[in-house]
Amino acid sequence: MGLDDRRLSDEGLAPEGRGRIRLIACGALAHEILALKRANGWDHLDLQCLPAKLHLRPEKIVEAVEAAVRAAEGPVFVVYADCGTGGALERTCRDLGVEMVEGPHCYSFFEGNAAFAARADEEFTAFYLTDFLVRQFEAFVWRPMGLDRHPELRDMYFGHYTKLVYQAQTEDPALDAKAEDCARRLGLAYERRFTGYGDLAPRLAALGR
pLDDT band at 147 (very low <50, low <70, confident <90, very high): very high
Query: Which residues, in sequence order, are CB contacts of 134 under 8 Å at separation 6+?
Result: 166, 175, 178, 179, 182
- In contact, 51 and 75? CB cutoff 8 Å: no
Domain that holds residue 139: 118-194
CA distance 169 to 105: 15
Segment 18-45 shows an average pLDDT of 95
Chain segment 76-87, per-residue pLDDT in tens: 999 999 999 999
Percent of the chain whose predicted confidence (pLDDT) is above 90: 89
- In contact, 137 and 115? CB cutoff 8 Å: no
Checking if the pLDDT of 64 tops 90, the result is yes
**In-domain check, residue 200:** no
Determine which helix (DSSP H) or strand (DSSP E) holds 117, and give its type and residue range: helix 113-119
Segment 93-104 shows an average pLDDT of 97
pLDDT of 209: 60
pLDDT band at 101 (very low <50, low <70, confident <90, very high): very high
pLDDT of 4: 38
Domain count, the chain: 2
Terminal CA-to-CA distance of the chain, rounded, Å?
23
**In-domain check, residue 112:** no
CATH number of the domain residue 16 falls in: 3.40.50
pLDDT of 19: 85
Among the candidates 49, 69, 101, a domain finishes at 101
**In-domain check, residue 107:** no
Checking if the pLDDT of 6 tops 80, the result is no
Checking if the pLDDT of 11 tops 50, the result is no
Checking if the pLDDT of 10 tops 50, the result is no
pLDDT of 37: 97
**In-domain check, residue 206:** no
Facing residues of 77 across strands? 23, 99
CA distance 146 to 154: 9
